[in-house]
Structures are given as structure tokens and as C-alpha cells.
Structure 1
Amino acid sequence: MLTYSEPLIRAGQVLLILFLAWGLQRFLARGLNSLGARYPQLPAEVLLPLRGTVRWLIMGSAFMLVLERLGVSAEVLWTALTGFVAVAAVAFFAIWSVLSNLFCALLIITLGPFRIGDCVEVIESADKPGVKGRVLSVNLFYTTLEDLSEEGVGALMQVPNSLFFQKAVRRWRNGELPSPRNKEV
């Protein structure tokens, strides 16, 4: 009987930790729900992430306690976690421009600030002309423009999608740039 008592005690402790974490999470979630009902000026956009954060903190703490009861050192877990976070941060910064262009492509496709066939100009500043051309295609990283300037007629330009959200963009829907002749003063 003595050989089975220690594993049974640990199993009971693990179950107790999980049950208490679940109960605490339910108690705090109900408290946040009643707080939201009592104060209607508190927006749901605040309560929902707060409930999620509380749930993850409680369950993460319970997970750490369970691992500690099973003999895993908290120091080893903390070292592994910080190492993983450091590597993830470096990787995130290394691919930031790629992720930015992917996200901007998604925004261009869903929001439609311009369409294929439109003429667009990315304005650099008040005294410098920007990139100007007819939109031929939009892919995950670049928007391809047909150059409409006098020195580059017919050339293709690939503009990173993120540039359309960093600069002001002028757009002509009919696909034709206004001619200087039509601008009589």
C-alpha cells in the first residue's frame, strides 16, 4: 500500500490544483460579468480581453503548479520560456517587413483603397513627385504598377504594399491620369 500512496497523493494534488484553478476562473469570470451588468458604461471591448487575460493567467499558473508537483523545476521552465520568447522576438523582428507587406496586402484586398486598372500616385512630399502608375496586379508582397511617366512609359514598378499605408496616395478611378491640357486656369 505504501508504494501506491505517493502517486495517489500527487494525482489528488494535481486534481485539486486543476479544480481550484477552474473554480477561481469561473468565480472571477462571473464577477467580471456582474461588473459589466452593474456598470453598463463599461464597454464589452474591455471586459472580453480582461476575461481572457484572467483565464490565461490562472490556467498558466495552474499548469506551472501541476508541473512543479510532478517534479519539473520552475527554474528550468522559466529558463526555457525566456529562451523561447527571446528567439521568437528576434525572429519576429527579422521578418517584420515581410509580415507588414502581407498584412497590408490583406488590407488592400479587403478594404479596396484602389483596384486593378486604377491610376495611383504615392506622394513622397509636397516638393517631390512620387511613384505614379496604373495598377496591374496586387500580390502578397508587391503591387505592380505600369509606369506612366514620360521617361519610363511601359516600365513595370513593384511597390511594397506597406508603402501605400505609410504615404499619402492619390487615385484616379477611370484608369486615366488627367492631362495637363484640361487644367486651364
Structure 2
Amino acid sequence: MRKLIQFLHDWLPVWAADWLDILVPAVEVVLIGLISWLLMRLVRKVIRRITGTYGLPVNVASLFLRVMGAVIYGGAALWALERMGVSGAILWTAFTGFATVGAVAFFAAWSVLSNLFCTLLIYITRSFRIGDVVELLEAGDKPGMKGRVMDINLVYTTLLESGDAQNGTSLQLPNSLFFQRVLRRWNGTAAEGDLIPRQQQN
């Protein structure tokens, strides 16, 4: 590719060669933008298919889509700047600076991020669903935190412990907790015979 550009540069008149120096980087930037756009469309289709297959909530799918968009378009922007002649040392310094800030923010928000990741795992592994009766055990011979699953959001899972949704007690457990302890599911007649009522549908 470089040999072809050099050949055209030597063969064309001076005024055309000057335009070539402008057009080639511009075409490369357009191609980079097109590739990133096509890649983002592919990511959207994959996330949409995963959402339909595993029943992911819209907010979870949107979060992962935004993260992938930031990674793809951020990488495309750095690549485009490099093709436009920005110094590689400057780009590397900027990248390492952003990466350092991102790493600090990552460790600062580790508990939140782990809950977000565990939310995705709950839906993919189908550990439980809304309406199931579950119990988190601290030890095999001791009763744990038990309730009917009322809601699963990005950070917490809400268990109805007693009563109903309007007049009862509930537990809000971090989603990461379900992967740190033994989980007991109450199925069939065992769940139906439980004192905890099912969520009322509006």
C-alpha cells in the first residue's frame, strides 16, 4: 500500500501530489469510521440475540452495549488520530494516562462492578428467576436468608421474606453474594407450600 502511494506521489504532478497527501489520510479515517460502525452493528446484534435467548433485562443489555461502544469508538478514534499524523508517543502517553485513571476507578468501584457482572451471570446460568423461592446458606446445618425473588436489578436481588409486596418484610442482597455462598432453591410443591406468597401481578 505504501509503495503504491509513493508511486502515485512520484507520478502525479506536484499540485495533485499535494492533494494526495490530504486525501489518503482522509480516506483511511473514513474507512476506520466505517469499520467501527460495522463492528458496533455486529455487537448490537449479538447482544440483542443474547438478550432474547437468556432474557436479560433491558438495562443490563444497554449497559454492556455502552461499554462496548466506548471501547470500539475509543479505539477507532486513537487509530484515526495515528493515521492523521499524530505522534505515537503522544497517543501512547494519553492512552496510558486514561488507562491509569480507569484502573483506579475500576478498583474503587470493584464491589459495584462485581455485582453488575454477577447480574449477567445470574441470567446466563439461570440460577433463579423472579418468583422462585431461594435460600442462601452460611453453613450446611444452619438456616440462611430465605425468600421469594421479587426483583433482580443491576446491583441487588430483592427477596420477599414474609407478608406480601405491600405489607411484608424483604431482603436486598448484593448479586455477588449468590456466587459466594451455597444457594438452595425450593421447587415444586416445596415452594408452593411455603408461607411466602407469589408476587402480585398488576
Aligned sequence identity (%) = 49
Structure 2 distance, partners of 1:81, 1:169, is 42
Per the normalisation by structure 2, the TM-score is 0.48
Structure 2 distance, partners of 1:135, 1:61, is 45
Structure 1 distance, partners of 2:84, 2:137, is 57
Shift of the 13–140 alpha-carbon distance from structure 1 to 2, 3 Å rule, reads closer
Shift of the 169–159 alpha-carbon distance from structure 1 to 2, 3 Å rule, reads same
Q: 2:99 pairs with 52, 73, 85, which one?
A: 85
Q: 2:136 pairs with 97, 122, 137, which one?
A: 122
Matched residue of 1:108: which SS? helix
Asked if structure 1 preserves the Cα contact closer than 8 Å seen for 2:134 and 2:147, the reply is yes
Note the C-alpha offset of 1:140.
Answer: 2.4
Asked if structure 2 preserves the Cα contact closer than 8 Å seen for 1:134 and 1:175, the reply is no
Written as runs of structure 1 = structure 2, the 5 A alignment for 1:90-129 is: 90-126=104-140, 128-129=142-143
- Structure with larger Rg: 1
Per the normalisation by structure 1, the TM-score is 0.52
Gaps of 5+ in 1: 19-58, 149-153, 179-185
Q: Could you tell me which residue of structure 1 aligns to residue 186 of structure 2?
A: 172
Letter of the 2:169 counterpart = A
Asked if structure 2 preserves the Cα contact closer than 8 Å seen for 1:119 and 1:176, the reply is no
Q: Could you tell me which residue of structure 1 aligns to residue 54 of structure 2?
A: none
RMSD: 3.9
Q: Per-residue displacement from partner, 1:67-108 (whole Å, max 9, x unpaired)?
A: 44xxx3332222111111111222223333223323333333
Gaps of 5+ in 2: 1-12, 29-75, 163-167, 196-202
Asked if structure 1 preserves the Cα contact closer than 8 Å seen for 2:78 and 2:91, the reply is no
Letter of the 1:122 counterpart = L
